[in-house]
Structure 1
Amino acid sequence: MRSIWKGAITFGLVNVPVKVYSATEDHDVALHQVHDQDGGRIRYQRRCEICGQVVDYAHIDKAWDDGESTVILTDSDLASLPAERSREIDVVEFVPSEQIDPMIFERSYYLEPDGKSPKAYVLLRHALEATDRTAIVRFALRQKTRLGALRVRGDVLLLQSLLWADEIRSAEFPSLEEDVRISAQELELSAALVESFAADFEPGDFRDEYQDQLRELIEARLAAGDAVETSVTFGNGPGDAESEGGEVLDLMEALRRSVERSRARAETGESGRRGRGGAEARTGTAGL
C-alpha cells in the first residue's frame, strides 16, 4: 500500500507521527461507455459555456453561486485556508465506544507509526483498549475539514471519517405514527423465525454475486472470440484524416475485421486458451 497522507495524532503535549493509508478499495469491474452502433469510446469534454473551448484541468477553478451571484475560488484561495494546511489529527475528546452510531461512519484509514520509535503509537493503542473508548478527532483531507473516530482494530489504529450531524437525515414516516397492535403469538412466531436464521457474522462468507457474474460474462465473451481490439475503439481525432492524406478509416469495417480476426483465433484454440487462463487467474485471486 502507498500512504496518501502524513501527519501526527496530537492530544495535550503528546505527538504521534503517523502515515495514513486507505483501508478499503473498490472491487467493481471497471466499465466504460461506447457507442452502441460502432463501439467507439464515448468521451466527456470540459467545455466552457462562454468561449466554447475545451478546458484542461490546470485552467479550472471552483466556484459557488446562489443563483444571482458567483464567487470564483482559485487553488491558492483554497490552499490559504488554515484547516486545509493542517497536518494534525487533533484529538477533541475520548468517548465511550458504544456512543458512536455506526450510521455516521464514512471512510476508513489505517494509521502506521512514522517515527524512529512506535512507542507513543503503541501506548495510545493500549490506552484506547484499556478504557474501551474512542478518540473523536478533527483533521483535514482532500480540501475538507473532517470529523473522525480513532479506534483500535487488531494491532493497528484505525481512523474513520464521520458524517457531520447536519448530514444525517431524520426519518419521519407518517405510516409509523399509527397505533399498531401486535399479539403475543405474532411476537413468538417472529422471534422463532429470527432464531432460525441466527448465526455469527463472518464477512468472508459473502461474495458480490453480481461482480462475479459480470467477470464470468466477460471471460465467456473473450473465450468465444466476441471481442474487438481496444485500439479500434478510439476514433481519429480532429485533423487526423487530413494528416494522413485524406484517408478516413471506416470504423465499422475495422470493427468487422477485428471481430472476424478474433473469431478466427478462437477457432484455432488460441483465444480459448487465453480465456480459460484468465478465468483461472481470476478465480485464484478471488480466493486469496
Structure 2
Amino acid sequence: MRSIWNGSISFGLVSIPVKLYSGSEDRKLDLDMLDKHDNARIRYKRVNEDTGKEVEWKDIVKGYKKEDGYVILEKEDFEKANIKKSKTIDIEEFIDETEVADVLFKKPYFLEPQKEGGKSYNLLRDALKKTGKLGVATFVMRQKEHLSLIGVYKKILVLHVIRFTDEIRDPSELKMSKATVKKNEVDMAVSLIEQYTSKFDFSKYKDVYNDQLLKIIDSKATGKKVKSEDFDSKPTPAKDLMAQLKASLDKKKKGKAS
C-alpha cells in the first residue's frame, strides 16, 4: 500500500509520527463511456472557456472568485491556512464508542507508526482498546479539514473520517407516516429480530453484484442470451403485517431446527 498522508497523531503532549493509508477500496467495475454509434471512447478535456484550447495540468492553478476577479492560491497557501492541522491529527477529546451515530461515518483509513513512534503508537492503541473509547480529532488532508474518530481495528489504529454536523441534511423534511403500530405487532417484530440476531461475521458478506455483472459481460461477449431472474418487491399491506411477521418467524425457526 502507498501512504496518502504523513504526519503525526497528538494527544496531550504525546506526539506519534504516522503514515495514513486508505483502509478501503472501490470494487466497482471500470467501465468506459462510449459513443453508441461507433463505440469510440469518450474523452474529457480541460478546456479554456475563452480560447477553446485544451490546457495541460501543469498550467492549471486554483483560484477563489472575489468580486470581478480571482485570487490565485499556491500550494503553500493551503498549508499556511493552518500548518498544525496540515501536519497533525490532533485528538481533542475521547468519547465512548456507542455515542457516535452511524450516519456520520464516511471512510476508514489505517494508521501505521513510523520508526520512532512504535512505542507511543502501541500505547495509544492499547489504551483505546482497554477503555472502549474513540479519539475525536481534526486534521487537514487534500486541502480540506476533516473531523475524525480514532479507534482500534485488528491490532492497528484506524481513523474514521466522519461528517461535520452541517454536512448532515435535516430529516424533518421527509414525509413520515402517521400509522399507529400495535403492541403485539412490535412484540412479534422484536421476536423476529432476536431470531435473526447472531455474532457479526464480516467475512460472510461478499460483493456479489460485480461477479454477476461480469457473467453478463462474458455472456454478451460470446453472443449468448443473458438470462435474468424475475423479481417484484411488493409492499406488505397493513392488514397482512401480523401474518407476514408470524410466517417469517416460523420460517426462521424451521431453518434453525433443520
Q: What CA deviation, in whole Å up to 9, does each residue of 1:112-142 have, x standing for no partner?
A: 1102461111111111122221111111111
Q: Distance in 1 between matches of 2:220 and 2:27?
A: 21
Report what 1:5 is aligned to: 5
Return the letter of the residue paired with 1:62.
K
SS in 2 for 1:151: strand
Change (3 A) 1:177 1:64: farther
Q: What CA deviation, in whole Å up to 9, does each residue of 1:158-216 have, x standing for no partner?
A: 111111111011211464374x4322332233234434433333232223232111222
The correspondence of residues 123-134 of structure 1 with structure 2, limited to 5 A, is 123-134=123-134
Q: Distance in 2 between matches of 1:21 and 1:13?
A: 24
Q: TM-score, normalised by structure 1?
A: 0.69
Structure 2: 5+ residue runs without aligned partners? 225-258
Indicate if the aligned counterparts of 1:128 and 1:152 stay in contact, CA closer than 8 A. Answer: yes
Return the letter of the residue paired with 1:163.
R
Q: Distance in 1 between matches of 2:69 and 2:213?
A: 44
Change (3 A) 1:13 1:183: closer
Q: Distance in 1 between matches of 2:85 and 2:125?
A: 26
Q: Distance in 2 between matches of 1:64 and 1:84?
A: 23
The correspondence of residues 140-219 of structure 1 with structure 2, limited to 5 A, is 140-173=140-173, 175-176=175-176, 178=178, 180-219=179-218
Report what 1:285 is aligned to: none
SS in 1 for 2:171: coil
Change (3 A) 1:161 1:213: same
Indicate if the aligned counterparts of 2:16 and 2:117 stay in contact, CA closer than 8 A. Answer: no
SS in 2 for 1:198: coil
The correspondence of residues 40-51 of structure 1 with structure 2, limited to 5 A, is 40-51=40-51
Return the letter of the residue paired with 1:144.
K
The correspondence of residues 233-272 of structure 1 with structure 2, limited to 5 A, is none
Report what 2:121 is aligned to: 121
Give the C-alpha shift of residue 16 in structure 1: 0.9
Q: Distance in 1 between matches of 2:18 and 2:131?
A: 22
Change (3 A) 1:199 1:70: farther
SS in 1 for 2:176: helix
Return the letter of the residue paired with 2:54.
V
Q: TM-score, normalised by structure 2?
A: 0.77
Report what 2:233 is aligned to: none
Q: Distance in 1 between matches of 2:130 and 2:198?
A: 29
Return the letter of the residue paired with 1:188.
D
Report what 1:240 is aligned to: none
Q: Distance in 1 between matches of 2:175 and 2:8?
A: 49
Return the letter of the residue paired with 1:214.
L
Change (3 A) 1:40 1:176: closer
Return the letter of the residue paired with 1:48.
N
Give the C-alpha shift of residue 156 in structure 1: 0.3
Change (3 A) 1:141 1:219: same
Q: Distance in 2 between matches of 1:181 and 1:117?
A: 57
Report what 2:239 is aligned to: none
Q: Distance in 1 between matches of 2:78 and 2:160?
A: 24
Q: Distance in 2 between matches of 1:83 and 1:162?
A: 21
Structure 1: 5+ residue runs without aligned partners? 227-288
Q: Percent identity?
A: 33
Indicate if the aligned counterparts of 2:18 and 2:111 stay in contact, CA closer than 8 A. Answer: yes
